[in-house]
Amino acid sequence: MNSSVIVFPGSNCDRDIAVALEKFKIKNKMVWHNETNLPKSDLVVLPGGFSYGDYLRTGCIAGKSKIINDVIKHAKKGGLLLGICNGFQILTEASLLPGILLRNKKLKFISKDVFIKVLNFKNSFCSNYKDKNIIKIPIAHNEGNFFANNNLLDRLEDKNLIAFKYCDIKGDINELSNPNGSSKNIAGIFNENKNILGMMPHPERSIDPFLSSEDGSLIFKSLLK
Amino acid sequence: MLISKDLIKKHGLKTDEFSKIVKLIGREPNLLELGIFSAMWNEHCSYKSSKKYLKKLPTKNKSVIQGPGENAGVIDIGDNDAIIFKIESHNHPSFIEPYQGAATGVGGILRDVFTMGARPIATLNSIHFGSPEHPKTKNLLNGVVSGIGGYGNCMGIPNAGGEVKFNSCFNENNLVNAMAVGHVNKNKIFYSKAKGVNQLVVYVGSKTGRDGIHGASMASAEFDENSEDKKPTVQVGDPFTEKLLLEACLELMKGDSIISIQDMGAAGLTSSSVEMASKGNLGIEIDLDKVPCREEQMTPYEMMLSESQERMLIIIKNGDEKNAEKIFKKWDLDFSIIGKTTNTKNLDLYFHGSKVANLPITSLSTDVPIYDRKWKKTPLPKKEKNLVNYKKLKILDSLKKILSSPNNSSKEWVWEQYDNTVMGDTVQKNGGDASVIRIHGKNKGIALTVDSSSHYCFAYPQFGGMQVVCEAWRNLVSVGARPLAITNCLNFGNPEKEIVMGQFVECLNGISDACTYLDFPIVSGNVSFYNETNNKSIEPTPTIGGVGVILNLNNMVSQSLKSINSLVLVIGKTNGHMHQSELFREVCNINSGPPPEINLFNEKNNGLILLKLIEKKLIKAAHDVSSGGIILALTEMCLLGDIGAKIKINSNNLSNIEYLFAEDQSRYLVEIDEKDQKATFNILKENDIFYEMIAETKKESLDFDKEFSINLKDLKKINTDWFTKYNEIK
């Protein structure tokens, strides 16, 4: 499997995701934001960070950067596209995913381990979570409060496009287990074809036994199938 | 232009200092030159009051590659890996403008580390505020924490914790000490010493603006009721640009075109150019028309004294400039050749074609006056006699009171605002004794801690200084790390006062003794004097940042209890030292008396033997016993591990309350398996280590005989409530 990680000025999880992809034997290339052509890739990743310094709005400028045209083409052709944290924000700004990420409800940056429930296994990213659907994973963001109007929320639920919801250790999804105020506790969503996934938590930070969790590994293992 | 007395004073110089300047250069300086002198001769940049004593500190051992005098200190951790680290104060700006002051404090210390070629892998900080009830405190706390997070999170460097403290002595002078730690191949370290004539002086990074002018001089004077007016001296940070600067510098550093490099920190272009020339025994010539400026019509005076952030000065090999420029353009950063090195040993500045300053480099470096200030000894306070009432206190009530006090409350509210998992190598997070960061791609790690204890230092500076170093050493040992070296940030009041100067001298004596005995040298740091408002000085607060190495991460331990039915031991002797303890201060309101004294032999012996036990895999959890005594340490271990404990006291000499709350030093609590009892006791006995059993672990509650039993959930709530409630948005 070949992947490309797009590096924007201000990206800061680009190395981490590259390390994770390589750990799971996915052949990766780093692609600079000013390029116009993607190398041949099965998977494209938009990494976390503060692309263009978060100026204007998070993800906004990156959503209009030179490389994005080719990323959109890749996705329209059915290629896999994963946006993590700032990458998720970029996906919504580039209209590849619906909804928007607002500032966290309490207006503070939140960095901690949370639990999320995996809700859809019939896709390229999450098939390996079938036997373990409540996972521990870190979040670290200031704008992770997913917002969508009721029509959109209904559509996401009806079509099974919600990838993850914040929950507690037992899997209960409620206000107490919602760290940032997201509508319906949403932590990640798919597009209709489920080849695009946007998520706020960081799977690349939970991939080995020395870290506080290894549960992120299963995303990469699922991708390899 | 004639320099008036008023102008001299405005530049923070004394009349006799001005006379010395005139003598040194053989004429009166012009206004620009006066500004340059004020930037280089102020306390913050020149260390004129502290130099005499700093020289005596231990700064070398076999792991030290670079001690004080460079941008940061460097230590060797084996296999060609070196760790570069330093702590620095940003107290004064953070009080005037908490968000920007704290943010640029983080930015500045990060530059010190990557200037030397290291990729930063962690930041820590020690922040001190006034009493929570003071009207300024909440705003300062929120601003400083947001500022630290705002900068570090954007840079993508994990926060490895530190400390957050409250004490009314900081009501009008908060402290913000920021530490950065980087990793580098030990054969690819960059230094600031210029070499060779006619090499290119290159300016890279952000443009120069009118912010931070006279910042270093501002930090070299006390505050009064008009301190708000000093806002324009505070710099404004842009972490996004710094991230680009970091990546661009590291990219250029892969090649060999850099001769020397220095960040523009305090006193900006002035101090960076002078320091590079001075170390290389060269002159430097700068054409100020070439300096990238953010605003129009900036004067030479403003350019030389601006402390705009995210800028570097590099001396590049003549001929390599094209390649270097390409890298900085790729990262959308300014790149301008602004001058060259010369053999004149002068600082020569040109503007619009004429020479506007001409000063011997020595007059700005080696000729800066050094003071031997008068100082007064702090007497050792006597123990209060006839104190008996505290012995009647209820243990659980006292524990609850301490556990919920601002200083001992869980700092989760703070830590959650800092990204601590980015870079994927945080193997032990903030909140324990020390954080542990893995060396990328390897099975070894470094342990990091920041410590201070202002009330011990105020009570008796020599014991206090010694205690802080030992505390840092103990925190590193507690996670299984070999302590290697420290960096220090020395926060004091006005050194022109004998009592303050005395606190400084005696704290340093204590620090020096402990560092020497423990072979724990000081490799970098800074001094922050004049933490004083309207004549009231802060309590002396030396902050120690410690670094240790864990060569095999499988030997790392943490403070959380691991399982039920294991044993908890106290290593080290409990003699019942109550003065300056949390029990006396928080519960009994007794602030007098001496701090605990330290026996350095026991300190070292206890620590080294604990490391041996850890390496033999006999220790399941370890935690040093510090403020709050045994009971607080045990409670913290329970809360982190979600495992309860049943306390059993075997000591007959002390009352229970003394035994549980005393703050005798050099002690640890350790959890061991019952089956490892014999092996552990044997090693402890062989090495003459004093130990006692204190508890057995159990499910979900903390119990003590018939006196109390409390559920951990209740204790947790008591421990975390304070911060959340204090900062609730109403």
**pTM, full prediction:** 0.96
Distance of CA B165 to the CA centre of its chain: 14
Q: What is the ipTM of this complex?
A: 0.96
Instruction: List residues in chain B touching A: CB distance below 8 A.
Output: 146, 149-150, 153-156, 238-241, 243-244, 331-332, 415-424, 426-427, 429, 438, 553, 729
Question: Which amino acid does the sequence have at B653?
Answer: N
pLDDT in the model for residue B1: 58
What are the residues whose beta carbons fall under 8 Å from the beta carbon of B704, sequence distance 6 or more?
B395, B396, B646, B647
Q: How far does the CA of residue A156 sit from the closest CA of chain B (Å)?
A: 30
Contact A53 B331 (CB under 8 A): no
Chain A hits for B438, CB-CB cut-off 8 Å, are 210
pLDDT in the model for residue B729: 66
Give the side-chain half-sphere CA count within 13 A for B490.
30
Residue of chain A nearest B557, judged by CA positions: A210
| Interface contacts A/B by beta carbons within 8 Å | 85
Nearest CA among B328, B313, B323 for reference residue B248: B328
Is residue B90 annotated as a catalytic residue, yes or no? yes
Q: How far does the CA of residue B727 sit from the closest CA of chain A (Å)?
A: 11
Sign of the Cα pseudo-torsion (A179, A185, A190, A191, in order):
negative
- The tokens for B190 are 């960059």
DSSP state letters, B556-573: ---SS---TT-EEEEES-
Q: Can you list the pairs that B16-24 forms with residues at least 24 positions away whose Cβ atoms lie under 8 Å? A: B17/B41, B17/B369, B20/B367, B20/B369, B21/B363, B24/B360, B24/B363, B24/B367
Chain A hits for B419, CB-CB cut-off 8 Å, are 109, 111, 140
pLDDT along chain B (730 residues), means of 10: 86 94 96 94 92 95 96 97 97 94 96 97 98 96 97 97 96 97 97 96 94 74 74 84 97 96 91 95 97 94 93 96 96 97 97 97 95 96 88 95 96 96 96 95 97 97 98 98 98 97 98 98 96 96 98 97 98 96 95 96 98 98 96 98 95 90 98 97 97 96 94 96 86
Q: Report DSSP state, residue B586.
A: I
Chain B hits for A50, CB-CB cut-off 8 Å, are 153-154, 156, 239-240, 243
Residue of chain B nearest A9, judged by CA positions: B244
CATH of domain A2-224: 3.40.50.880
Q: How far does the CA of residue A11 sit from the closest CA of chain B (Å)?
A: 8
In this prediction, residues A24-40 reach a mean pLDDT of 97
**pLDDT higher than 90, residue A131:** yes
Contact B239 A20 (CB under 8 A): no
pLDDT in the model for residue B221: 74
Of A10, A202, A210, the CB nearest to B553: A210
Contact B426 A16 (CB under 8 A): no
- A179 interfacial to chain B (CB closer than 8 Å): no
Contact A112 B416 (CB under 8 A): yes
Strand, helix or coil for residue B5: helix
* Count of other CB atoms within 10 angstroms of residue B594: 17
Question: Domain boundaries in chain A?
Answer: 2-224
pLDDT (tens digit per residue) in A147-203: 999 999 999 999 999 999 999 999 999 999 999 999 999 999 999 999 999 999 999
**pLDDT higher than 90, residue A140:** yes
Q: How far does the CA of residue A169 sit from the closest CA of chain B (Å)?
A: 14
Rounded CA separation B148/B163 (Å): 13
CB contact at 8 A, A7 and B247: no
DSSP state letters, B217-235: HHTTS-B-TTGGGGGGGS-
Chain B hits for A112, CB-CB cut-off 8 Å, are 416
Is residue B577 annotated as a catalytic residue, yes or no? no
Sign of the Cα pseudo-torsion (B154, B159, B161, B162, in order):
negative
Rounded CA separation A19/B435 (Å): 22
Chain A hits for B156, CB-CB cut-off 8 Å, are 12-13, 49-50
Rounded CA separation B216/B221 (Å): 9
Chain A hits for B553, CB-CB cut-off 8 Å, are 210
Point out the residues of A that are catalytic.
Answer: 85, 202, 204
pLDDT in the model for residue A225: 80
Of A138, A140, A211, the CB nearest to B427: A211
- A108 interfacial to chain B (CB closer than 8 Å): yes
Contact A52 B415 (CB under 8 A): no
CB contact at 8 A, B77 and B63: yes
Of A12, A202, A210, the CB nearest to B243: A12
Cα separation of the two ends of chain A: 10
pLDDT in the model for residue B650: 83
Rounded CA separation B385/B203 (Å): 64
